[in-house]
């Protein structure tokens, strides 16, 4: 949401800049009597700049100053929108899952700004539609005349109304030469498709209602439209007819406001229109060409999209204060790894102790470490980058049946003599390898919901001397989620870590799991999901019986969560079914091997008795046993080859 809001604000900023430029150019062109129809194109280009997120690329030289270069990169990133996420080393899709927290806990100031913007757009849209309907109702009794216009006492002033089938409405008292001039004015609007262009421009302005320059551009376009039609109406008139036309403008000057989609004869600044008509004169062909060229250049300038040139090796040296972290470390250079002890927590001086970096840009912390939970769960969007909290070496990067895609970093020994490690679990993927050296803030994976997880998040654990301890006292979470580290708490953390280390045979529970254990774990997770889904179903049914909008909205939110739970349940059931098939295949393989071993024992027993070749009955039994052994071997080979084909 943040990127969308900033991108839209930047779009409005570029549109405002184009409006200011067009205002200056328009003032200059008016001094040389440029036809208003040309100036209409200039303001239409401004409207397109407000509406379109792209334009004509204009490459600007990259600033040599570091701060300016960073600012230019930021502006260009906002202009181009969010960049696509580069493909990580490992890409494994995670199951769709529901968030455990209520929707309102995930709201941010960006959501609030978007809501205010949407309310403003809605108010203006309703106001425009209501004004259009009110005006349409007011002239419903107007009758069609011989020249195709609609006239009646209900029409207060000449105007054109409608988008797809626009109509010209004239007062019944308007007759003679004045009527002919007004009809020519309104038909010029129709010929130039002004009834369609003006509502579209107004819709764009409604999207940028907070920008006064957007309203300025709309008023200027409205003014140039009226002036262009005035010029067409008096082009072939003498001075007397031109004066009569100006009197008509004065007579029907609108005191109230018309609907935004209408084109009224009396709209615009009356004084400006009359002065313009009194001084209007035709331009020669040469002057028209010059004015057209000036307008064309101005339109092109309005559509420019500034971009900063890509950094070259020369500019990179001036814009980077230090080289980017390397992510291609190998086990060989891991031997020379030296921890950044200055960045590790120091329990000997807790008040001044550094903190680990926050590993992910989370929305909220759904669960803290407790007696039944080994770490903190940081709720985050799927694919959110996960970073190393401190310099370290990767000691584990693999998939675990419970932790999903998991990474463990060894950060070495701190200045207080304590050894530190961190664990990152339930990720959607990881981008590091065992033995790789990473720097603080380097990408190691992306948040997800793999393993035993029902929602997208990062499970984060901190190990102190091999035992888990409370991350919230040692990590730079948000201020409201961070707990102060005191001397007393430092002693408690040491005691807690020692207790966890002594009571657990394996502080990092990352042992392999049999298929039967995996099936049991998935079945337990499936039962929990079904229970939570049933609880939500009961709550939703209760809310559906309510009458308030808030209850209905909450019920709809529950319904969406239930749908996500159903998807997760279906995925778990499919996984359990696959594991069950693997268990049955393993059992069949074990039975075939057992039968083969028993038959081989029978053959060995007959051969060891020394009666082979002397007793026909024993020879026949041996032959039958060999046939059974061959059949069992063929069955076993068939199973093994079939399993290999499936795996391949």
Euclidean distance between the first and the last CA atom of the chain, given in angstroms as a whole number? 43
Of the given ranges (271-275, 314-318, 358-362), which has the lowest mean pLDDT?
314-318
Confidence of residue 536 (pLDDT cuts 50, 70, 90): confident
Distance in angstroms (rounded) separating the CA atoms of residues 364 and 380: 8
CA atoms within 13 A on the CB side of 171: 15
Query: Which pLDDT score is estimated for 441?
Result: 92
Spatial CA neighbour of 30 closest among 20, 42, 18: 42
- Read off the pLDDT of residues 280-333 as tens digits, 9 standing for 90 and up: 666 556 555 666 666 666 667 666 665 545 444 343 333 333 333 333 333 333
> What beta strand segments (E) does 278-431 contain?
304-308, 364-367, 376-379, 385-387, 392-400, 404-413, 419-430
Highest mean pLDDT among 96-100, 385-389, 506-510: 385-389
pLDDT above 50 (res 533): yes
- Read off the pLDDT of residues 580-637 as tens digits, 9 standing for 90 and up: 887 888 788 878 778 777 777 777 776 676 555 555 655 666 677 677 667 766 766 6
pLDDT above 80 (res 22): yes
Confidence of residue 15 (pLDDT cuts 50, 70, 90): confident
Query: Which pLDDT score is estimated for 452?
Result: 79
Spatial CA neighbour of 246 closest among 195, 182, 150: 182
Spatial CA neighbour of 181 closest among 253, 272, 244: 244
Count CB neighbours of 461 within 10 A: 22
Distance in angstroms (rounded) separating the CA atoms of residues 185 and 430: 68
Alpha helices in 320-402 (DSSP H): 331-334
Give the contacts of 304 (CB within 8 A, at least 6 positions apart).
55, 56, 58
Instruction: Note if the pTM is more than 0.85.
Output: no
Whether 230 and 268 have beta carbons less than 8 Å apart is answered as no
List beta partners, residue 438: 392
Q: Which residue pairs, CB below 8 angstroms and at least 24 apart, start in 145-154?
A: 145/170, 147/183, 149/183, 149/186
pLDDT > 90 in the chain, percent: 15
Task: Give the C-alpha distances (Å, rounded to integers) separating 521 from 89, 225, 452, 457.
Answer: 28, 72, 8, 20
Highest mean pLDDT among 256-260, 375-379, 538-542: 375-379
CATH of domain 331-503: 2.70.70.10
- Read off the pLDDT of residues 213-239 as tens digits, 9 standing for 90 and up: 999 999 888 888 888 888 877 777 777
User: Strands 167-171, 467-469: parallel, antiparallel or unpaired by DSSP?
Assistant: unpaired
Spatial CA neighbour of 565 closest among 95, 94, 97, 102: 97
Computed over every residue of the chain, the mean pLDDT equals: 75
Query: Which pLDDT score is estimated for 301?
Result: 66
What mean pLDDT is predicted for residues 42-71?
A: 66
Confidence of residue 390 (pLDDT cuts 50, 70, 90): very high
At 550, list the tokens.
């808030």
CA 256 to chain centre: 44
Count CB neighbours of 215 within 10 A: 15
Distance in angstroms (rounded) separating the CA atoms of residues 176 and 282: 26
């Amino acid at each position: 949401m943040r990127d969308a809001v900033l991108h839209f604000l930047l779009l409005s900023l570029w549109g405002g800049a184009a409006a200011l430029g067009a205002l200056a150019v328009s003032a200059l062109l008016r001094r040389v009597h440029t036809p208003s129809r040309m100036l209409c194109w200039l303001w239409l280009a401004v409207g397109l700049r407000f509406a379109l997120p792209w334009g004509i690329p204009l490459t600007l030289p990259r600033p040599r100053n570091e701060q300016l270069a960073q600012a230019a990169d930021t502006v260009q990133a906002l202009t181009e929108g969010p960049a696509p996420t580069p493909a990580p080393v490992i890409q494994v899709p995670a199951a769709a899952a529901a968030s455990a927290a209520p929707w309102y806990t995930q709201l941010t100031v960006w959501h609030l700004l978007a809501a205010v913007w949407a309310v403003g757009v809605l108010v203006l849209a309703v106001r425009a539609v209501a004004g259009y309907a009110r005006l349409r109702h007011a002239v419903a009794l107007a009758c069609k005349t011989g020249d195709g216009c609609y006239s009646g006492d209900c029409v207060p002033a000449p105007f054109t109304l409608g988008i797809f089938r626009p109509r010209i409405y004239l007062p019944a008292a308007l007759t003679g030469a004045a009527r002919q001039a007004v009809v020519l004015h309104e038909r010029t609007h129709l010929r130039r498709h002004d009834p369609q262009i003006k509502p579209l421009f107004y819709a764009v302005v409604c999207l940028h209602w907070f920008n006064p320059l957007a309203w300025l551009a709309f008023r200027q376009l409205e003014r140039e439209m009226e002036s262009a039609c005035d010029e067409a109406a008096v082009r072939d008139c003498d001075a007397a007819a031109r004066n009569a036309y100006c009197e008509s403008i004065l007579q029907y000057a609108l005191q109230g406001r018309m609907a935004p989609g209408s084109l009224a004869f009396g709209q615009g600044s009356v004084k400006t229109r009359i002065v313009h008509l009194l001084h209007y004169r035709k331009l020669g062909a040469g002057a028209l060409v010059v004015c057209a060229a000036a307008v064309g250049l101005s339109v092109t300038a309005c559509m420019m999209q500034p971009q900063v040139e890509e950094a070259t090796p020369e500019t990179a040296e001036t814009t980077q204060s230090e080289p980017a972290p390397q992510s291609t470390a190998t086990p060989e250079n891991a031997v020379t790894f030296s921890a950044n002890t200055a960045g590790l927590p120091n329990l000997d001086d807790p008040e001044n102790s550094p903190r680990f970096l926050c590993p992910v840009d989370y929305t909220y912390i759904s669960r803290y470490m407790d007696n039944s939970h080994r770490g903190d769960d940081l709720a985050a969007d799927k694919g959110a980058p996960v970073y190393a909290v401190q310099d370290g070496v990767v000691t584990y990067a693999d998939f675990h049946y419970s932790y999903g895609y998991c990474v463990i970093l060894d950060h070495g020994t701190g200045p207080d003599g304590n050894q530190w490690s961190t664990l990152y679990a339930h990720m959607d993927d990881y981008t590091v390898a065992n033995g790789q050296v990473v720097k603080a803030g380097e990408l190691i994976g992306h948040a997800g919901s793999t393993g035993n997880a029902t929602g997208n998040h990062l499970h984060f654990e901190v190990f102190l001397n091999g035992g888990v301890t409370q991350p919230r006292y040692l990590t730079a979470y948000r201020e409201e989620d961070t707990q102060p580290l005191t001397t007393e708490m430092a002693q408690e953390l040491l005691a807690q870590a020692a207790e966890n280390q002594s009571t657990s045979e394996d502080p990092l529970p990352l042992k392999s799991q049999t298929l039967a254990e995996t099936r049991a774990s998935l079945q337990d997770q499936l039962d929990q999901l079904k229970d939570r889904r049933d609880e939500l179903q009961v709550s939703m049914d209760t809310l559906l019986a309510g009458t308030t909008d808030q209850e209905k909205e909450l019920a709809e939110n529950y319904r969406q969560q239930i749908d996500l739970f159903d998807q997760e349940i279906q995925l778990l059931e499919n996984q359990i079914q696959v594991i069950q098939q693997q268990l049955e295949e393993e059992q069949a393989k074990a039975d075939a091997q057992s039968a083969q071993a028993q038959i081989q024992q029978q053959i060995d027993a007959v051969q060891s008795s020394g009666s082979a070749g002397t007793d026909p009955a024993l020879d026949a039994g041996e032959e039958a046993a060999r046939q059974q052994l061959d059949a069992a071997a063929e069955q076993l080979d068939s199973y093994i080859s079939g399993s290999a084909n499936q795996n391949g």
